Protein backbone atom coordinates (compact mmCIF):
# COMPACT_ATOMS: atom_id res chain seq x y z
CA UNK A 1 0.00 0.00 0.00
CA UNK A 2 2.86 2.33 0.72
CA UNK A 3 4.14 1.59 -2.74
CA UNK A 4 0.75 2.51 -4.25
CA UNK A 5 0.71 5.85 -2.42
CA UNK A 6 4.23 6.67 -3.56
CA UNK A 7 3.36 5.72 -7.13
CA UNK A 8 0.21 7.85 -7.05
CA UNK A 9 2.15 10.82 -5.69
CA UNK A 10 4.81 10.51 -8.40
CA UNK A 11 2.36 10.04 -11.24
CA UNK A 12 0.49 13.17 -10.39
CA UNK A 13 1.42 15.96 -12.75
CA UNK A 14 2.12 19.32 -11.25
CA UNK A 15 -0.47 21.98 -11.95
CA UNK A 16 0.25 24.03 -15.08
CA UNK A 17 2.25 27.18 -14.60
CA UNK A 18 0.15 30.31 -14.67
CA UNK A 19 0.26 32.08 -18.02
CA UNK A 20 2.60 35.07 -18.22
CA UNK A 21 0.87 38.36 -17.47
CA UNK A 22 -0.63 39.99 -20.53
CA UNK A 23 0.86 43.44 -20.97
CA UNK A 24 -1.81 46.09 -20.81
CA UNK A 25 -2.27 48.19 -23.88
CA UNK A 26 -0.56 51.49 -23.53
CA UNK A 27 -3.09 54.27 -23.16
CA UNK A 28 -3.52 56.41 -26.23
CA UNK A 29 -1.24 59.42 -26.06
CA UNK A 30 -3.01 62.53 -24.92
CA UNK A 31 -3.50 64.98 -27.78
CA UNK A 32 -0.95 67.73 -27.81
CA UNK A 33 -1.82 71.21 -26.66
CA UNK A 34 -3.65 73.49 -29.05
CA UNK A 35 -1.76 76.14 -30.93
CA UNK A 36 -2.03 79.60 -29.38
CA UNK A 37 -4.19 81.52 -31.92
CA UNK A 38 -2.06 84.67 -31.75
CA UNK A 39 0.99 82.69 -32.90
CA UNK A 40 -0.75 81.82 -36.20
CA UNK A 41 -2.65 85.08 -36.73
CA UNK A 42 -1.51 87.32 -39.55
CA UNK A 43 -1.65 87.99 -43.28
CA UNK A 44 -0.18 85.32 -45.54
CA UNK A 45 0.71 85.03 -49.20
CA UNK A 46 -0.85 81.78 -50.37
CA UNK A 47 0.55 79.46 -53.04
CA UNK A 48 -1.35 76.35 -54.03
CA UNK A 49 -1.08 73.45 -56.43
CA UNK A 50 -4.52 72.13 -57.26
CA UNK A 51 -5.13 68.94 -59.21
CA UNK A 52 -6.31 69.52 -62.75
CA UNK A 53 -6.03 73.31 -62.67
CA UNK A 54 -3.56 75.58 -64.37
CA UNK A 55 -2.29 78.71 -62.68
CA UNK A 56 -5.26 81.09 -62.30
CA UNK A 57 -5.06 84.43 -64.10
CA UNK A 58 -7.10 87.57 -63.74
CA UNK A 59 -8.90 89.32 -66.62
CA UNK A 60 -5.76 91.16 -67.79
CA UNK A 61 -3.68 87.99 -67.97
CA UNK A 62 -1.57 88.63 -64.88
CA UNK A 63 -1.33 85.91 -62.28
CA UNK A 64 -4.20 86.07 -59.80
CA UNK A 65 -3.32 86.80 -56.19
CA UNK A 66 -3.93 84.29 -53.45
CA UNK A 67 -3.98 85.35 -49.83
CA UNK A 68 -5.00 84.22 -46.39
CA UNK A 69 -5.70 86.28 -43.27
CA UNK A 70 -6.10 84.61 -39.86
CA UNK A 71 -7.60 86.79 -37.13
CA UNK A 72 -7.92 86.17 -33.39
CA UNK A 73 -11.50 87.53 -33.31
CA UNK A 74 -13.93 84.65 -32.54
CA UNK A 75 -16.46 83.89 -35.28
CA UNK A 76 -20.00 85.09 -34.64
CA UNK A 77 -21.55 81.98 -36.19
CA UNK A 78 -19.79 78.61 -35.67
CA UNK A 79 -18.86 76.69 -38.79
CA UNK A 80 -20.11 73.18 -39.55
CA UNK A 81 -17.47 70.49 -39.12
CA UNK A 82 -15.17 72.26 -36.68
CA UNK A 83 -13.48 69.91 -34.24
CA UNK A 84 -12.48 72.65 -31.85
CA UNK A 85 -14.72 74.77 -29.68
CA UNK A 86 -12.77 77.93 -30.53
CA UNK A 87 -13.29 79.24 -34.07
CA UNK A 88 -11.82 82.46 -35.39
CA UNK A 89 -12.44 84.79 -38.34
CA UNK A 90 -10.41 84.39 -41.50
CA UNK A 91 -10.50 85.57 -45.09
CA UNK A 92 -9.13 83.68 -48.04
CA UNK A 93 -8.60 84.43 -51.71
CA UNK A 94 -7.89 81.30 -53.73
CA UNK A 95 -8.85 81.82 -57.38
CA UNK A 96 -10.97 79.01 -58.73
CA UNK A 97 -12.21 78.02 -55.27
CA UNK A 98 -13.25 81.16 -53.41
CA UNK A 99 -16.11 83.41 -54.45
CA UNK A 100 -15.76 86.79 -52.72
CA UNK A 101 -18.76 89.08 -52.55
CA UNK A 102 -18.96 91.87 -55.12
CA UNK A 103 -16.41 94.58 -54.40
CA UNK A 104 -14.23 92.33 -52.23
CA UNK A 105 -11.05 90.45 -53.07
CA UNK A 106 -11.39 87.69 -50.44
CA UNK A 107 -14.07 85.45 -49.04
CA UNK A 108 -15.01 85.03 -45.38
CA UNK A 109 -13.81 81.83 -43.72
CA UNK A 110 -13.28 80.39 -40.27
CA UNK A 111 -10.21 78.81 -38.76
CA UNK A 112 -9.40 76.84 -35.63
CA UNK A 113 -6.36 75.19 -34.09
CA UNK A 114 -6.16 71.41 -33.75
CA UNK A 115 -3.88 69.42 -31.41
CA UNK A 116 -0.23 70.03 -32.10
CA UNK A 117 0.91 72.92 -34.25
CA UNK A 118 -1.83 72.66 -36.86
CA UNK A 119 -4.78 74.68 -38.10
CA UNK A 120 -7.81 74.18 -40.31
CA UNK A 121 -9.20 77.00 -42.45
CA UNK A 122 -12.66 76.30 -43.86
CA UNK A 123 -14.87 78.13 -46.32
CA UNK A 124 -18.02 77.50 -48.35
CA UNK A 125 -17.96 77.26 -52.11
CA UNK A 126 -20.49 78.47 -54.65
CA UNK A 127 -21.94 74.95 -54.69
CA UNK A 128 -24.47 74.10 -51.96
CA UNK A 129 -23.16 71.63 -49.43
CA UNK A 130 -19.51 71.83 -50.52
CA UNK A 131 -16.76 73.05 -48.23
CA UNK A 132 -13.06 73.55 -48.81
CA UNK A 133 -10.55 73.05 -46.01
CA UNK A 134 -6.93 74.09 -45.85
CA UNK A 135 -5.33 71.73 -43.33
CA UNK A 136 -1.84 72.81 -42.40
CA UNK A 137 1.08 72.63 -40.01
CA UNK A 138 2.32 75.95 -38.62
CA UNK A 139 6.10 76.28 -38.52
CA UNK A 140 7.41 79.75 -37.73
CA UNK A 141 6.03 82.11 -40.37
CA UNK A 142 4.85 79.34 -42.71
CA UNK A 143 1.79 77.10 -42.89
CA UNK A 144 2.09 74.07 -45.18
CA UNK A 145 -0.56 71.50 -45.86
CA UNK A 146 -3.31 70.07 -48.00
CA UNK A 147 -6.44 71.41 -49.70
CA UNK A 148 -9.50 69.21 -49.11
CA UNK A 149 -12.92 69.06 -50.83
CA UNK A 150 -15.79 68.05 -48.55
CA UNK A 151 -19.34 67.29 -49.67
CA UNK A 152 -21.86 67.59 -46.84
CA UNK A 153 -24.54 66.00 -49.06
CA UNK A 154 -22.66 62.75 -49.81
CA UNK A 155 -20.09 62.71 -46.97
CA UNK A 156 -17.34 62.41 -49.60
CA UNK A 157 -14.04 64.11 -48.90
CA UNK A 158 -10.75 64.00 -50.75
CA UNK A 159 -7.55 65.93 -51.17
CA UNK A 160 -7.47 68.22 -54.21
CA UNK A 161 -4.07 69.83 -53.76
CA UNK A 162 -1.42 71.29 -51.50
CA UNK A 163 -0.65 74.80 -50.27
CA UNK A 164 2.05 76.90 -48.65
CA UNK A 165 1.20 80.14 -46.87
CA UNK A 166 4.00 82.55 -45.94
CA UNK A 167 3.31 85.25 -43.36
CA UNK A 168 3.89 88.77 -44.62
CA UNK A 169 6.20 90.99 -42.59
CA UNK A 170 4.39 93.73 -40.71
CA UNK A 171 5.23 97.26 -41.76
CA UNK A 172 7.48 99.07 -39.29
CA UNK A 173 5.95 101.82 -37.24
CA UNK A 174 2.65 99.98 -36.77
Beta-bridged to residue 48, according to DSSP, are: 163
pLDDT per position as a tens digit, 19-35: 555 555 545 455 567 78
Mean pLDDT of 2-19: 55
pLDDT per position as a tens digit, 104-159: 999 999 999 988 899 999 998 877 889 999 999 999 999 999 999 999 899 899 99
The residues spanned by each domain of the chain are: 37-167
Distance CA 6, CA 160 (A): 81
pLDDT: is 18 or 135 the higher one?
A: 135
pLDDT at residue 61 greater than cutoff 50: no
What topology is assigned to 37-167 in CATH?
Lipocalin (2.40.128)
Distance CA 161, CA 129 (A): 20
Q: How many CA atoms lie within 13 A of 71 on its CB side?
A: 12
Give the three-state DSSP class for 75. coil
Mean pLDDT of the chain: 80
Confidence class of residue 76 from pLDDT cuts 50, 70 and 90? confident
pTM exceeds 0.75, yes or no? no
pLDDT at residue 41 greater than cutoff 80: yes
Distance CA 92, CA 39 (A): 18
pLDDT at residue 59 greater than cutoff 90: no
Amino acid sequence: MLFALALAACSRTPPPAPPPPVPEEAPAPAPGPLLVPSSAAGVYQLRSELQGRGQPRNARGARATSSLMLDTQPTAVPTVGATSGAQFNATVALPGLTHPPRGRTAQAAAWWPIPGDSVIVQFDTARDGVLIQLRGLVSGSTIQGEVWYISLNTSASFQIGTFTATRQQRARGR
